Chain A
């Protein structure tokens, strides 16, 4: 149960687009994590350097298995891999987890710009 205790790091996770389940404007991504694969399905829209994920669904997890800290790790990795300044999630109505049937508020992640180290 260590995955509930320790937040993941970027090295713990990787992601790929599932092309069989991607058809404009719907994109499905499989994220490999320490607790197993998760699938995310959304309708991404670019707003400048920020990606808005409309109608996001997450599946293949037990309720509350990911948590906000680890969701942030996934978001940060996606932003870095795709060179985004921000990622905004507009979730669909929850089918599991906290408050099923409830539409969660939007979540905004911004990418921290790390100052370059002096040599």
Chain B
């Protein structure tokens, strides 16, 4: 799945080229046109493209139309131990910071259990923006 939004560099949106680029990758012409129109409306849109010959080609085609495309891989796994070590945290620190059970973390790291889809998404969010997730998770102060 690709997340699409208009670029901030004021490249004019090539609406017909964008529609054609999306339709070429398996969307109906109407669906592709609607997605492009949603982008024109200022929305961030998500496109599940049936045919992706090359991720970089999709990103380049979209960029030429004034659209920033980012691939979202829902099935991507996260190496939990590597993530934790990258953040220089012990299991306990990582668990407290992101609201996880130490035992669960241990099970993921040792391969005893696999994170489910929700947990994978959460871990990916941590991997992409550890501080923002920490802030979002933290209990807001009452003052």
Contact = CB atoms under 8 A, between A and B. Distances in A.
Interface of A: 20-23, 25-26, 28, 39, 41, 43, 55, 57-60, 63, 92-93, 95-96, 100-101
Looking at chain A's contact residues, the main secondary structure is mixed
Interface string B16-33: 110110010000111001
Contacts of B17: 59
B40 A41 contact: no
Given A59-B17, A92-B40, 9 more contacts: A20-B20, A21-B16, A23-B23, A26-B33, A28-B16, A93-B40, A93-B41, A96-B12, A96-B13
A93 B30 contact: no
Looking at chain B's contact residues, the main secondary structure is helix
Contact of A41 (B13, B33, B42, B66): B33
A39 B30 contact: no
B30 A95 contact: no
B16 A26 contact: no
A41 B28 contact: no
B131 interface: no
Contact of B37 (A59, A60, A92): A92
